[in-house]
Structure 1
Amino acid sequence: MGYVKQAYVMKVAAGIPGDRLQIKDQTITINGEIVAIGMPLVDTSKVPLKSFERDEVIPAGHVFMMGTHPMSNDSRYWGYLSLNDVVGRGYKIL
């Protein structure tokens, strides 16, 4: 998972293998549906936003993970997560 080694995180699988992912002008869409707007963690003085733009199909064996908070560090920044790295499923406790 990107630059983080041996970390556990809880995210939503916003995109699964075969879904179309588009990132353009800081708008993230999966199969044409907007899942997030903005990339607030990008330091544009060091990394141009254009470098994050893409229009591609999520490859087999990978998922695009999104946090529920706008400032979440998620697949917008570290890319796809291999399904081999998924260790479980989270449930809401009521």
Structure 2
Amino acid sequence: MKRSQLIRELVEIIALALVIFLVVRFVVQSYRVDGPSMQPGLVTNEFVMVNKLSYVFQKPERGDVIVFHYPKDVKQDFIKRIIGLPGDTITTDREHVMVNGKLLKEPYISLAYNSEGKSWQVPADQYFVMGDNRPVSSDSRFWGYVPKDYIVGKAAITFWPLNTIRAIDTYSDVYKDIPKQK
């Protein structure tokens, strides 16, 4: 009796561990920051926890830092900040970004820089993303929009190295007064 009870408990523990592993794998994912495009907020070799369910129940918002499949090569994942939502008009000059005519005051960027002045109209089910380190970021200004289906999830916290554990700020106040596009 004791031997069969031990075997049953071991099977239950293994099954429970497998269920927990699978649930966690489908809900969260770790992502290693590679490159300077999100400095100063995120730096190379930091690890972030990505919430893969965040956009099942709500839509992405301006300011969210997301991990997504790079539209030019879906085998690569990138991390950037959402600047424009579907229907938004994004306009840049050499130092500024405007969304729907509203100038963004971005405390998270390392340097205000755009290679040229330009305007984009974000298509349905797509997002305009930019890195926080504008002079070196490869982003929507150069290769276009991120389809909603390419978004892996929302970057929620940094967790490695241990001295960098913190929530990732979306700076929602920066975007709160932007008028909605029709």
Question: Which bin holds the TM-score, normalised by the shorter protein?
Answer: 0.5 to 0.7
1:39 to 114, 117, 122: 114
Q: TM-score, normalised by structure 2?
A: 0.39
Q: Partner residue of 2:153?
A: 88
Q: Partner residue of 1:57?
A: 121
Deviation at 1:80, TM superposition (A): 0.9
The answer to whether 1:6 aligns with 2:70 is no
Q: Partner residue of 2:92?
A: 23
Instruction: Indicate the SS of the match to 1:11.
Output: strand
- CA contact 2:92–2:114 (8 Å) conserved in 1: no
Structure 1: where are the runs of 5+ without partners? Answer: 41-48
Q: Partner residue of 1:46?
A: none
Instruction: Indicate the SS of the match to 1:89.
Output: strand
Letter in 2 for 1:84: D
Instruction: Indicate the SS of the match to 1:92.
Output: strand
Structure whose residues are more often helix by fraction: 2
The answer to whether 1:72 aligns with 2:149 is no
CA distance in 2, matches of 1:29, 1:22: 5
- Number of residue pairs aligned between Structure 1 and Structure 2: 83
Instruction: Indicate the SS of the match to 1:10.
Output: strand
Structure 1 residues 9 and 24, CA, compared in 2 at 3 Å: closer, same or farther?
same
Q: TM-score, normalised by structure 1?
A: 0.68
Q: Partner residue of 2:180?
A: none
CA distance in 1, matches of 2:133, 2:92: 18
Q: Partner residue of 1:45?
A: none
